[in-house]
A and B are shown apart, each in its own frame.
Chain A
Amino acid sequence: MSKSKTPQLFAAQVPIFPRRISGFYRNLKWWIMAVTLGIYYLTPWIRWDRGPALPDQAVLVDLAHRRFYFFWIEIWPHEFYFVAGLLIMAGLGLFLFTSALGRVWCGYACPQTVWTDLFILVERWIEGDRNARVRLWKGKWNIRKWRLRLVKWNVWLLISLATGGAWVFYFTDAPQLARDLFAFTAHPIAYGTIAVLTATTFLFGGFMREQVCIYMCPWPRIQGAMMDDDTLTVAYRDWRGEPRGKKRDATRGDCIDCMACVNVCPMGIDIREGQQMECITCALCIDACDEIMDKIDRPRGLIDYLALADEPEERAGKPPKPLWRHVLRLRTIIYTSLWSLIGIALIYALFIQSDIDMTVEPSRNPTFVTLSDGTVRNVYTLRLRNKLGESRQFQVSLTSMQNLQIQIEGAGGDTVTVAPDSSTMLRVYVTADSVNLAANLDQTDLRFWVEDVENGDRASRSSVFNGKGEK
């Protein structure tokens, strides 16, 4: 067994030439590609009327003004928990789908998969199907090869440019930015972002492909922890297929070793070797094998979505458990419940979101000031938020068990104007004269109110009045 040689610790990338295939899963993937790419490229161009003071882009991440617009929803920085909640939901959703259906995200919806699929489509369109591409790859660099390669790279580059270009439209007014980009007057950051995303799309979709999934992405490694024997995943029924062989007779299984499943695989693996780290469960081998099974008049499903837990039953010739019993199990129910709870909480938070809002920050350095006539005064910083697109008059008041007086620094009365879609800070004094109980107690509860004088919208925040604490 022992031998002496120099081990090769690094290996060249083995080129993969996936063959074209048609079938149920291939069609499903075409639809998903059309929908996801459509959403990505078109969303920034949807208009949404928010009045003259606000941008009329339906989905806009306005970093400069610290606002996030999503159709009728407007999120301010202090409401960032919406984004955090959505990210947690996305994480839990990924856990749910992985525990139920394996790497379904990787196989169908991951941008790396979708764009690689698109790039392979272009490649096949220009250079031909698998066999033609293998011949071209092996062939000399003659004029024809150069021509095909240059055409392919240029189409890839155009797609990459459109991909990088679409990204920046999410962050500022899309039509205006498009005009600026073509007039070469847009901000350098816009061009820089487009350049970086164009380069990564070109490289990852055209050349890195499966290398990204196998060596760069952490998700495949994490997913192992979320799958178990009940997870539905792409697998080979070796009890039906083996022993494989080209020759058909009673001693052999259904696999005729035609290599169709291997030839269509974008990851370059053989699914018949069992579950592998590289497999993104794109299910194209299912389509490929079903086509062959139809031709040789054998039942479909030699390669299929199946749960490993069913293997003993199937080997014994019994029917497997129904699919819903694999999907509905404690683990997926827990993930679904957590996902729904956060979703319901976010929807609730969305409904109680008000377009008048206030925060109160009591000044605690010092906690109170004694004035010359013995009056005790507390200072509060109030931030009033006007989330509407028009300027509004806000009246500030307070309620308390004690008779406390309120006064706003720099304002004549108790009413202030807040500009559209902005917030204003007020320095507010609350006083209790020397004989007032609040002046001598340690603390007195109070509540600030802010009310729109026109439509009566209002909000309140509770706080505390500090006295001398002598009684």
Chain B
Amino acid sequence: MSDFETETEIDDETGVETTGHDWDGIKELNNPLPRWWLWSFYISIVWGIGYVIAYPAWPMITGATQGMLGYSTRGEVASEIARFEDQNSALTSALSAVDLNTLGENAELNHFAVAGGAAVFRSHCSQCHGSGANGSKGYPNLLDDDWLWGGTIDQIAYSIKHGVRNEVDEDAHYSEMPAFGDMLEASEINQVVHHVRSITGLENDADLASLGQPLFMDNCSSCHGDNGKGDREIGAPNLTDAIWLYGGDVESLTQTISTSRFGVMPAWGMRLKVSEINAVAAYVHQLGGGE
């Protein structure tokens, strides 16, 4: 196989011929490999060249060579996604057309909707509502049983489709609480704060609370109701329950009443397909608070 001339000898210890290679006195015994091994080595080189021609291989400045087969891992993923979409097309079209109130009766479709909805939620909703759907200050917790705009599956789907207080969808939920800092004295706001805490059963100053009661009736009850239980028609939160979107402590309530606060949610109907809206509505509805 090799064409070079070299000095070989028979090793005294083993009786095996050396290759003649000598590195500082260290000599290599020549135990020849089988020839088929050499051929398998050549075949693997040929295979390697073929592979480089067939598949993306050489790195270039802006990418890599494409390969004759036009294969790419992205393409593989895309075709796999297309295959699954094709497989699920019957379920997807059924989900687009379904009456959400009867979704629970179709176990297969419901399972498909919840599983798909979870994926939509992770991609589009978790940024604000959290990956566990438990929200954070200013972003509603979707796990509890308290709903600003209603917790039936239809109401949830409407909220997702049209959003809240955005400027692009005419049908978006809309309400705005005034900033009472301009209308009431600081002492009056403090009285209202104590009244609100009293109707929720939180620690409060009874004298201040009783002074706040008429102020509440004059300024707040038109939206939040005489008893503070809120109104879902206009997204006015229930002030008597244990759930606070912006916090129920004196400092937070004072700031909320003084400057007013409200959140915004995009109209997902403009970005997602009907089937995706229905799926994510089904997912949110089964998180534990659905009505």
A residues bordering B, Cβ < 8 Å? Answer: 1-13, 208, 211, 215, 363, 365-366, 369-374, 377, 379, 409-410, 427, 429, 434
User: In this complex, what residue of A is CB-closest to B17?
Assistant: A7
Contact status B34-A3, CB under 8 Å: no
Chain B CB count within 10 A is highest, among A13, A211, A370, for A370
B23 within 8 A of A: no
A372-B145 contact in complex given A11-B33, A215-B34, C-beta closer than 8 Å: yes
Contact status B6-A8, CB under 8 Å: no
Contact status B144-A7, CB under 8 Å: no
Contact status A9-B1, CB under 8 Å: yes
Contact status A409-B4, CB under 8 Å: no
| Interface magnitude class on chain B | 35 or more
Contact status A409-B10, CB under 8 Å: no
Query: Which residues of B1-50 are within 8 A (CB) of A?
Result: 1-10, 17-20, 30, 32-38
Cβ distance B196 to chain A, nearest Cβ, rounded Å? 15
- The CA-CA distance from A371 to B289 in the complex, in Å, is 9
| Number of A-B pairs, beta carbon distance below 8 Å | 103
B141 within 8 A of A: yes
A409-B288 contact in complex given A9-B19, A215-B37, A372-B145, C-beta closer than 8 Å: yes
B276 within 8 A of A: no
Instruction: Write out the residue numbers on chain B whose beta carbons fall within 8 Å of the beta carbon of A10.
Output: 1, 32-35, 37-38
User: In this complex, what residue of A is CB-closest to B146?
Assistant: A372
Contact status A4-B6, CB under 8 Å: yes
Contact status B19-A366, CB under 8 Å: no
Instruction: Write out the residue numbers on chain A whose beta carbons fall within 8 Å of the beta carbon of B217.
Output: none
Instruction: Write out the residue numbers on chain B whose beta carbons fall within 8 Å of the beta carbon of A409.
Output: 286, 288
Contact status B2-A369, CB under 8 Å: no
B185 within 8 A of A: no
Cβ distance A449 to chain B, nearest Cβ, rounded Å? 22
CB contact between A429 and one of B36, B38, B241, B288 (< 8 Å): that residue: B288
CB contact between B144 and one of A11, A13, A215, A370 (< 8 Å): that residue: A370
Contact status A365-B134, CB under 8 Å: yes
Contact status A2-B9, CB under 8 Å: yes
- The CA-CA distance from A324 to B5 in the complex, in Å, is 56
Contact status A1-B5, CB under 8 Å: no
Instruction: Write out the residue numbers on chain B whose beta carbons fall within 8 Å of the beta carbon of A371.
Output: 144-146, 242-243
- The CA-CA distance from A374 to B145 in the complex, in Å, is 11
- The CA-CA distance from A9 to B21 in the complex, in Å, is 12
- The CA-CA distance from A372 to B134 in the complex, in Å, is 14
B238 within 8 A of A: yes
Cβ distance A5 to chain B, nearest Cβ, rounded Å? 6
Name 25 interchain pairs, CB-CB below 8 A, sorted by A: A1-B9, A3-B8, A4-B7, A5-B8, A6-B4, A6-B5, A6-B6, A7-B20, A8-B1, A8-B32, A9-B2, A9-B32, A211-B34, A365-B130, A369-B143, A369-B288, A371-B145, A372-B145, A372-B146, A372-B242, A377-B143, A377-B144, A379-B143, A410-B104, A429-B288
- The CA-CA distance from A4 to B1 in the complex, in Å, is 16
- The CA-CA distance from A369 to B286 in the complex, in Å, is 14
B131 within 8 A of A: yes
Instruction: Write out the residue numbers on chain B whose beta carbons fall within 8 Å of the beta carbon of A13.
Output: 34-36
Contact status B33-A366, CB under 8 Å: no
Instruction: Write out the residue numbers on chain A whose beta carbons fall within 8 Å of the beta carbon of B18.
Output: 7
Contact status B134-A370, CB under 8 Å: no
A372-B35 contact in complex given A2-B9, A9-B19, A366-B134, C-beta closer than 8 Å: no
Instruction: Write out the residue numbers on chain B whose beta carbons fall within 8 Å of the beta carbon of A1.
Output: 9-10
Contact status B30-A7, CB under 8 Å: yes
Instruction: Write out the residue numbers on chain B whose beta carbons fall within 8 Å of the beta carbon of A3.
Output: 7-9
User: In this complex, what residue of A is CB-closest to B243?
Assistant: A372
Instruction: Write out the residue numbers on chain B whose beta carbons fall within 8 Å of the beta carbon of A11.
Output: 32-35
Cβ distance A468 to chain B, nearest Cβ, rounded Å? 11
B132 within 8 A of A: yes
User: In this complex, what residue of A is CB-closest to B135?
Assistant: A366
CB contact between B33 and one of A9, A363, A377, A429 (< 8 Å): that residue: A9
Instruction: Write out the residue numbers on chain B whose beta carbons fall within 8 Å of the beta carbon of A208.
Output: 36
Instruction: Write out the residue numbers on chain A whose beta carbons fall within 8 Å of the beta carbon of B132.
Output: 363, 365-366
Instruction: Write out the residue numbers on chain A whose beta carbons fall within 8 Å of the beta carbon of B104.
Output: 410
Cβ distance A240 to chain B, nearest Cβ, rounded Å? 24
Cβ distance B57 to chain A, nearest Cβ, rounded Å? 25
User: In this complex, what residue of A is CB-closest to B4?
Assistant: A6
Instruction: Write out the residue numbers on chain B whose beta carbons fall within 8 Å of the beta carbon of A427.
Output: 286, 288
Cβ distance B40 to chain A, nearest Cβ, rounded Å? 10
Contact status B2-A377, CB under 8 Å: no
Contact status B288-A7, CB under 8 Å: no
17 extra A-B contacts, CB within 8 A, seeds A13-B36, A370-B242: A2-B9, A6-B2, A6-B5, A7-B2, A7-B30, A9-B2, A10-B35, A208-B36, A365-B130, A369-B143, A370-B243, A371-B146, A372-B146, A377-B144, A410-B286, A427-B286, A427-B288
Contact status A4-B5, CB under 8 Å: yes
Chain B CB count within 10 A is highest, among A5, A10, A13, A434, for A10
Cβ distance B39 to chain A, nearest Cβ, rounded Å? 9
Interface pairs A-B: 8 shortest CB-CB: A365-B132, A372-B241, A11-B32, A366-B134, A374-B242, A369-B143, A372-B146, A10-B35
- The CA-CA distance from A9 to B37 in the complex, in Å, is 11
Cβ distance B166 to chain A, nearest Cβ, rounded Å? 27
Cβ distance A69 to chain B, nearest Cβ, rounded Å? 27
User: In this complex, what residue of B is CB-closest to A425?
Assistant: B111
- The CA-CA distance from A372 to B147 in the complex, in Å, is 10
Instruction: Write out the residue numbers on chain A whose beta carbons fall within 8 Å of the beta carbon of B1.
Output: 8-10
Chain B CB count within 10 A is highest, among A4, A215, A369, for A369
- The CA-CA distance from A427 to B115 in the complex, in Å, is 13
Instruction: Write out the residue numbers on chain B whose beta carbons fall within 8 Å of the beta carbon of A370.
Output: 144, 242-243
Instruction: Write out the residue numbers on chain A whose beta carbons fall within 8 Å of the beta carbon of B243.
Output: 370-372
- The CA-CA distance from A2 to B18 in the complex, in Å, is 11
- The CA-CA distance from A33 to B20 in the complex, in Å, is 46
Instruction: Write out the residue numbers on chain A whose beta carbons fall within 8 Å of the beta carbon of B242.
Output: 370-374, 434
- The CA-CA distance from A89 to B145 in the complex, in Å, is 54
Cβ distance A381 to chain B, nearest Cβ, rounded Å? 12
User: In this complex, what residue of B is CB-closest to A14?
Assistant: B34
Instruction: Write out the residue numbers on chain A whose beta carbons fall within 8 Å of the beta carbon of B145.
Output: 371-372
Contact status B3-A6, CB under 8 Å: yes
Cβ distance A199 to chain B, nearest Cβ, rounded Å? 14
Contact status A369-B30, CB under 8 Å: no
Contact status A7-B6, CB under 8 Å: yes
